[in-house]
Amino acid sequence: MFRHFLTLMVVLAISAPVHTIWAAEGAPPEGTMEEGTGFSLFGTESIKGFDASKVEKDPVCDRNKRPKIFKVEPDEAKPGDKVVIKGENFGTKECFQGVAFSATGSAAVKYTFVNETTIEAIVPEARAGMSFIDVVAGGGNARSKGFLIKSK
């Protein structure tokens, strides 16, 4: 019986809300806990206003349509050459995020968004060898089959 009473007391102690007693001024001291907010929000400026025109211009990206790459033409090229990436679900120009070549790491790649099925990209400076081309769109990323970067 006593053990059940102790268990009940521990459960109540853990689940009981934390209350803070504040000074007579009515404002919580800096950095105190307020029930339901975590750290005190006292003194924090609220977010004011709403700009409907900005919201209307924001793109709506469909995160359910994963992009796919069907082919890259040509399937081998030198740095500076243009390649055409064909696929599906690249989204809109506003939702499309970029192109990358695995052989160049995080180097920026110049590309042109043609439409939701076609991207044109310039092969970046890289050592000759096999690489993959990745496209990143609103619904995720897709990787091509092997692509050969030829020496200049």
Residues 73 and 145 in one domain: yes
Range of the domain at 39: 2-48
pLDDT (tens digit per residue) in 81-130:
999 999 999 999 988 999 999 999 888 999 999 999 999 999 999 999 99
Residues 44 and 72 in one domain: no
Kindly report the average pLDDT of the chain as a whole number: 78
Q: Is residue 111 part of a domain?
A: yes
pLDDT (tens digit per residue) in 64-90:
889 999 999 999 999 999 999 999 999
Q: What is the mean pLDDT of residues 30-56?
A: 58
In this structure, what token pair is assigned to residue 133? 């081309």
Q: What is the mean pLDDT of residues 12-20?
A: 48
Residues 10 and 39 in one domain: yes
Q: Is residue 6 part of a domain?
A: yes
Q: Is residue 63 part of a domain?
A: no
pLDDT at residue 40, as a whole number: 52
Q: How many domains is the chain built from? A: 2
Which pTM was predicted?
0.62
Q: Tell me 15's DSSP state.
A: H
For residue 143, the one-letter residue type is: R
